Amino acid sequence: MIRRRLTLLALLCAPLLAWSQAYPNKPIRLVVPYAPGGAVDALARPVAQRLSEILGQPVIVDNRPGANATLGADNVARSSPDGYSIVLTSIVHYLVPFFSKNVPYDTMKDFTPIAQVAVTPNILAVHPSLPVNSVKELIDYAKKNPGKLFYGTTGVGSTHHLGGVLFAQMANISLEHLPYKGGSPTINDALGGQIPVVILTSPTILPHAKAGRLRALGVIEGKRARSSPDVPSIGETVPGYAVPDTWFGVLGPANMPKPIVDKLNAAFRQAINTPEIKQRLEAGGYEITGTTSADEFTQSIKADTEVFRKIVVSAGIKPE
């Protein structure tokens, strides 16, 4: 009886095993739900090239921007779960439903987490015209000048936006949000002095901070960034303050076979840790994290999303 059951199990698993062993046997489409030239696109292209060499099939970057990155993600959600359509996105993928009622998919149920590949630290900075040199001085200034400070970010629902919300809550200050449509217009107005405070990625802030055009005050994540160890974390001044890392990761449609998920996970980990790729991306301000299994990635997604959910609820933010 036991032998028969084992035989039956082997027969049932054989097609799946053969399918996964044959994968991939045609080009893979790596959707980037943002325009060419942005942070996700800059990460996708060198990694896709290396993946093509590892997997023996072309990995084609397919830019599908629009609707706060939901157009590209929806395209993948509606694709066959065979591993030939995957999306490279960021943690913002899981935050959009907190702000928008029109998301065409369930972020948790309609996707299969495959691999986290990198994170980008984020920094709170001020224009030099603002008479503050530290997070403590910024808090003191805000308390003495209530209603006069606002901060720019890449948009509503970004980790930068929610990082500012949490900072204002925990520091007990008034700090109004000014959303922009991307990093370029935000940094341009920050450099011009039109906005006194800004929260953006470390690679965007640091060159201007080193040139004296901005003053970097604090990293919004729970620890100092490897790329800027001299910039303290905000949590060193405001105990308990920390925003989850802004990660970039790969997702596929729901119900992808585990052997294919594991094969893609291993390939991404190998690609991102290739010395020349790692060096190139770290020079651009990314911190490589391509050492996480798919299961670990799934658990970190759930934990990070819950942290942001609490920030949104406590701020009384409703989807529109």
Q: What angle do CA 305, 307, 308 make, to 5 degrees?
A: 65
Q: Is the pLDDT of residue 121 over 80?
A: yes
Region 299-306 average pLDDT: 95
- Which one of 195, 211, 236 terminates a domain? 236
Instruction: For residues 246 and 198, give the distance between their C-alpha atoms in angstroms, rounded to a whole number.
Output: 16
Q: What is the pLDDT of residue 14?
A: 46
Q: Which amino acid is at 312?
A: V
Question: Can you give the pTM of this predicted structure?
Answer: 0.84
How, if at all, do strands 111-120 and 197-201 pair?
Answer: unpaired
At 168, which CATH number?
3.40.190.10
Instruction: For residues 183 and 200, give the distance between their C-alpha atoms in angstroms, rounded to a whole number.
Output: 7
Residue 7 lies in a domain: no
Region 172-193 average pLDDT: 90
- Which one of 175, 206, 236 terminates a domain? 236
Q: Per residue in 242-297, pLDDT tens? A: 999 889 999 999 999 999 999 999 999 999 999 999 998 888 778 998 778 999 99
Does 250 lie in the same domain as 231? no
Model confidence band, residue 204 (pLDDT cutoffs 50, 70, 90): confident
Residue 207 lies in a domain: yes
Number of domains in the chain: 2
Model confidence band, residue 184 (pLDDT cutoffs 50, 70, 90): confident
Q: Which amino acid is at 112?
A: T
Q: Per residue in 12-39, pLDDT tens? A: 544 545 545 699 999 999 999 988 877 7
Model confidence band, residue 6 (pLDDT cutoffs 50, 70, 90): very low
The more confident residue out of 16 and 51 is: 51
Q: What is the pLDDT of residue 3?
A: 52
Does 249 lie in the same domain as 205? no
- Which one of 216, 236, 256 terminates a domain? 236
Q: State which residues form the domain around 154.
A: 136-236
Q: Per residue in 75-100, pLDDT tens? A: 999 999 999 999 999 999 999 999 99
Which DSSP symbol is given to 220? S
Instruction: For residues 289 and 186, give the distance between their C-alpha atoms in angstroms, rounded to a whole number.
Output: 27
The more confident residue out of 309 and 3 is: 309
Does 199 lie in the same domain as 55? no
Report the chain's mean pLDDT, rounded to a whole number. Answer: 91
Residue 280 lies in a domain: yes
User: For every residue of 261-276, which 3-state class applies, written as one string?
Assistant: HHHHHHHHHHHHCCHH
The residues facing 89 across adjacent strands are: 249
Does 203 lie in the same domain as 160? yes
Q: Is the pLDDT of residue 125 over 60?
A: yes
Residue 1 lies in a domain: no
Model confidence band, residue 4 (pLDDT cutoffs 50, 70, 90): low
Instruction: For residues 255 and 163, give the distance between their C-alpha atoms in angstroms, rounded to a whole number.
Output: 33
Residue 11 lies in a domain: no
The residues facing 123 across adjacent strands are: 200, 219
Q: Is the pLDDT of residue 7 over 80?
A: no
Does 225 lie in the same domain as 207? yes
Does 73 lie in the same domain as 145? no
Q: How far is CA 14 from CA 4, 5, 20, 140, in A?
A: 15, 14, 10, 66
Does 116 lie in the same domain as 249? yes
Residue 68 lies in a domain: yes
Q: With b meaning 16 or more CB within 10 Å and e meaning fewer, what string describes 121-153?
A: bbbbbbbeebebeebeebbebbeeeeeebebbb
Does 292 lie in the same domain as 145? no
Does 289 lie in the same domain as 223? no
Model confidence band, residue 300 (pLDDT cutoffs 50, 70, 90): very high
At 94, which CATH number?
3.40.190.150
Q: What is the pLDDT of residue 202?
A: 87
Does 141 lie in the same domain as 232? yes
Residue 18 lies in a domain: no
Does 250 lie in the same domain as 217? no
Residue 186 lies in a domain: yes
Does 300 lie in the same domain as 214? no
Q: Is the pLDDT of residue 215 over 50?
A: yes
